[in-house]
């Protein structure tokens, strides 16, 4: 999927919501545990009810890996289900990978060929050759960790150079030359909304993946004020606040209601920015 297609989905849905599938087995409703693949069943119902309000889904790999090969099976089934039934959805593997060249090439093959994800989150610490193997795929994206939403973000991301540049800005400055807005996006946490203004000066045209609204407390209006660009340029993620809004048998319905609430706020913010 290229950024034109993504923007056209955003306009059609009046939404830039990404639903995070942090689907831990222990947290899903009891009544689903009778299914052969309870986590897949949970995801399927969440996807079916929220797809009208979302433009992207983001399984976080940790929540699949911790159950080993069984968890991977759920991940594969989920990715396959989305690609088959909702091919317009932008599918992100929140994997935070990054390794030496030949190893990153294996990861790229895993997510882009084996499972047909549209994008993978990657960590920048190991530099260009750790991410460039992902950039050889047409219409696929890397999403580079830049300024994250957690407290530890301040440990190194604000490490600053002699001329006052932060590490996260250096990550953007260098990496934007490794590809372009059609194969690179950046992760910027919603809890760092005030920095979005600075970041937008560096990369006015790239899409940003913004985690941290909902359970982590970031503010959608503030994120949108500083982050929206002329192609929208934002995918705002909510995970637990949607998928575990209810832990009872009405979980999918409640997830849809919460997604719609966010979508309506996004519709208003898009309208105010003249984007629809």
Tell which positions 134-173 bind a copy of itself, by CB under 8 A.
145, 148-157, 159-162, 167, 170-171
Q: How far is the CB of 249 from a copy of itself (least distance, A)?
A: 25
Closer by beta carbon to a copy of itself, 168 or else 226: 168
Separation CA 198–CA 168 (nearest Å): 11
Pairing verdict, β 90-97 and 119-122: parallel
Q: With left for phi above 0 and alpha for psi between -120 and 50, is residue 148 left, alpha or beta?
A: beta
Token digits for 9? 């989905």
Three-state DSSP class for residue 128: helix
Q: Which is nearer to a copy of itself, 235 or 256 (CB)?
A: 235
For position 98 contacting a copy of itself by CB under 8 A, the verdict is yes
Within 10 angstroms of residue 67's Cβ, the number of other Cβ atoms is 15
140 noted as active-site residue: no
Mark residues 57-76: x for contact with a copy of itself by CB under 8 A, - for none. ---x-xx-xxxxxxxxx--x
Please tell me whether residue 106 binds a copy of itself under the rule CB under 8 A: yes
> Between vectors from CA 213 to CA 107 and to CA 176, what angle results, nearest 5°?
45
Q: Of 73, 83, 96, 176, which residue is the catalytic one?
A: 96
Site for a copy of itself in 192-251 (CB under 8 A): 216
Q: Count CB-CB contacts under 10 A for residue 109.
A: 14
DSSP H or E stretch at residue 120: strand 119-122
Which residues make up the interface to a copy of itself (CB under 8 A)? 22, 24, 60, 62-63, 65-73, 76, 96-101, 103-104, 106-107, 109-110, 114-115, 123-131, 145, 148-157, 159-162, 167, 170-171, 174, 216
Q: Which residues are catalytic?
A: 96
């Amino acid at each position: 999927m290229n950024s034109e297609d993504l923007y056209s989905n955003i306009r059609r849905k009046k939404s830039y919501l990404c639903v995070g599938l942090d689907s831990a087995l222990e947290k899903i409703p009891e009544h689903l545990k009778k299914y052969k693949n309870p986590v897949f069943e949970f995801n399927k119902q969440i996807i079916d009810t929220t797809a009208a309000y979302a433009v992207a889904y983001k399984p976080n790999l940790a929540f699949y890996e911790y159950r080993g090969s069984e968890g991977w099976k759920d991940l594969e089934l989920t990715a396959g289900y989305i690609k088959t039934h909702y091919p317009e959805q932008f599918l992100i593997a929140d994997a935070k990978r990054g390794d030496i060249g030949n190893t990153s090439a294996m990861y790229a093959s895993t997510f882009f060929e084996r499972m047909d994800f549209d994008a993978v989150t990657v960590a920048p610490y190991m530099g260009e050759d750790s991410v460039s193997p992902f950039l050889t795929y047409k219409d696929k994206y890397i999403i580079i960790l830049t300024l994250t939403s957690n407290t530890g973000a301040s440990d190194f991301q604000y490490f600053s150079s002699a001329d006052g540049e932060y590490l996260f800005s250096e990550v953007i400055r260098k990496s934007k030359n490794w590809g372009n807005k059609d194969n690179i996006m950046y992760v910027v946490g919603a809890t760092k909304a005030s920095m979005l203004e600075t970041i937008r000066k560096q990369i006015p045209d790239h899409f940003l993946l913004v985690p941290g609204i909902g359970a982590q407390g970031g503010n959608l209006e503030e994120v949108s004020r500083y982050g929206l660009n002329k192609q929208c340029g934002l995918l705002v993620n909510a995970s637990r606040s949607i998928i575990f809004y209810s832990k009872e048998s009405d979980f999918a319905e409640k997830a849809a209601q919460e997604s719609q609430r966010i979508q309506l706020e996004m519709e208003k913010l898009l309208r105010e920015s003249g984007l629809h």
